[in-house]
Amino acid sequence: MDSSDASSALIAVGVCGRLRRPNARGDEMTGDRRGGSTVAAATGSKRRRTAGRSAGSDRDDAITPKRNVNDSLAAALGCEIIAGLYPPGSRLPNEATLLVRFGVSRPTLREAFRALEAKGLIVSRQKVGTLVRPKSDWHMLDADFLAWHMQAAPTEAFVNEVFQLRRIFEPQAAAAAADNRDAAALARIEQAYADMEAHKSGDAELIVADVRFHKEILQASGNRLLGALGSLIEMALVGTFKMGWRSLAIKDDRLHQHRDVMQAIAARRPDAARTAMAKLLQESADDVRRALAHERVSIPVATSSARV
């Protein structure tokens, strides 16, 4: 593991090392490994609204759907694998160790393992244990995988790959939308942009509206396969938008670039729509890179004691 992977791994301990699980009342419990034992703290709906909860966390809750304990455990382990705590070819801790660490039942742990196997992250072998699979086997476009990657290891290399993928199809989708959109599709794009303007000073609705803006353009292209790509990369969009807008307030010039795309689609000018979208993606990628650089400077010294 090189130094950048190690830094990402240490960050993941704090970002992804928590497990949300419901207690008997249905509230969520958050389990951390502290001093070798699982510490659970109720975080039900009332407590989520009490003092001490940051505004940023409230916004994250509005964007990120609630998950059950199986999903949360899969996310915690998935984050750690992606961040490099368990490199490809390495063996995960045995069941007994993980059961103690997370304070879950054996069926819950095995269900989480099945989810990770389905995403190509691990493979279980008799008399060997559970191994991390090569990165070439990972299902990179899986929605959960993208979300975990943005949480655990949002490296510049990964961000570059996300934006490279977007630059391959979104400008062409914008051009196709200019050619093929109908009045209803244009109205949905315009409404998404209006919602972005209404929330430009910063709240969860801004990111929701921006994701909707890009997805509506893909749908307006008239190509069903392009439309499906919006759902595939939605979590990556959320992650990159949150990193690019550290205060969750969009820059005026970035907002105006969205307007340029919308106006080109409205005017049925495919070349202008393609060019405007390419410019928007390039400058948005630069925003995220600057945010990542700032994050690296701000990271405090950490230890890897959380690894089991």
211-239 per-position pLDDT tens digit: 999 999 999 999 999 988 887 778 777 87
Q: Specify whether domain 154-298 bears CATH 1.20.120.530.
A: yes
Architecture of domain 3-147: Orthogonal Bundle (1.10)
Low-confidence ranges of the chain (pLDDT < 70): 1-68, 70, 153, 243-249, 295-308
* pLDDT at residue 34, as a whole number: 35
On the question of a common fold for 3-147 and 154-298, the answer reads no
Domain boundaries, the chain: 3-147, 154-298
* pLDDT at residue 27, as a whole number: 39
Give the whole-angstrom CA distance, residue 221 versus residue 170: 10
* pLDDT at residue 28, as a whole number: 40
Please answer whether residues 132 and 83 qualify as being in contact, where contact means their C-beta atoms are separated by less than 8 angstroms.
Answer: no
* pLDDT at residue 188, as a whole number: 98
